[in-house]
């Protein structure tokens, strides 16, 4: 077995199995059961990503928990799909703020705040 001071970021099958301290057969079984990530083609052979293996091992050992918000559309950074309906502001102040935003923050004569 090779000993690396720093494991490579992309490892061939034997190196990835050694990184996990598994035999080749055990490594293949864990990849097949999706406990470890699938390899990717680099050059003419399969390689495994060290960070991906570390992430999977962290989940298996309970060191890290996947963030459920990444999978939730509620917390997604992408805008929600349009329903075709317009959403109206609830108050007059929200309507003014929305119009100011649409005009680029340059209030018109009707949108400027009243002076006391």
Q: Give 50-87 pLDDT, tens digit per residue.
A: 999 999 998 888 877 767 777 777 776 666 566 666 66
Residue 4 lies in a domain: no
Evaluate whether residue 42 is within a structural domain: yes
Q: Which of 23-32, 37-46, 67-76 has the lowest mean pLDDT?
A: 67-76
Whether 18 is covered by a domain: the verdict is yes
In a domain, 73, yes or no: no
Residue 1 vs residue 47, higher pLDDT: 47
Q: Between the CA of residue 103 and those of 83, 85, 87, 90, 95, what are the distances in Å?
A: 24, 22, 18, 19, 12
Rounded to 5 degrees, what are φ and ψ at 84?
85, -10
Q: Which residues form the domain of 18?
A: 10-65
């Amino acid at each position: 077995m090779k000993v690396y001071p720093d494991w490579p970021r992309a490892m061939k099958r034997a190196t990835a199995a050694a990184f996990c301290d598994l035999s080749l057969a055990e490594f293949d079984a864990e990849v097949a059961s999706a406990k470890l990530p699938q390899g990717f083609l680099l050059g003419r052979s399969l390689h495994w990503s060290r960070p991906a293996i570390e992430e999977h091992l962290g989940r298996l050992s309970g060191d890290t928990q996947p963030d459920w918000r990444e999978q939730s559309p509620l917390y997604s950074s992408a805008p929600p799909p349009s329903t075709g309906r317009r959403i109206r502001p609830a108050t007059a102040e929200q309507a003014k703020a929305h119009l100011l935003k649409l005009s680029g923050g340059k209030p018109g004569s009707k949108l400027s705040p009243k002076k006391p």
